[in-house]
Amino acid sequence: MAEGLDVDAMIQRFRDRAAAVKSRPLPPVAGEERRRFVQQAQVDYRDFAIIGDAEAALEDGVLVLRVDLRPADQRS
């Protein structure tokens, strides 16, 4: 499974997805549907951005994603 896996390309796809969600236009919906659409876009962006910021490594055949969630001023 790990053979042929381009982890950097995978991470880039998540960055691209986060950017796409952020620039996605709102559909012509209103009220509760609009609120749900916006809420889902926020969740999608957060999830894609977290993986997009990950440092990836293959360790003994296991994909390890390391994500530093500390504020920028507290990172080492």
Confidence label for 55 from pLDDT (cuts 50, 70 and 90): very high
SS3 label, residue 59: strand
Q: Is residue 1 predicted with pLDDT exceeding 60?
A: no
Q: What would the pLDDT profile of 4-43 be if each residue is shown by its tens digit?
A: 789 999 999 999 999 999 999 988 889 999 999 999 999 9
Which of 14, 75, 23 has its CA nearest to residue 50? 14
Confidence label for 2 from pLDDT (cuts 50, 70 and 90): low
Dihedral pair phi/psi, residue 56, rounded to 5°: -110, 150
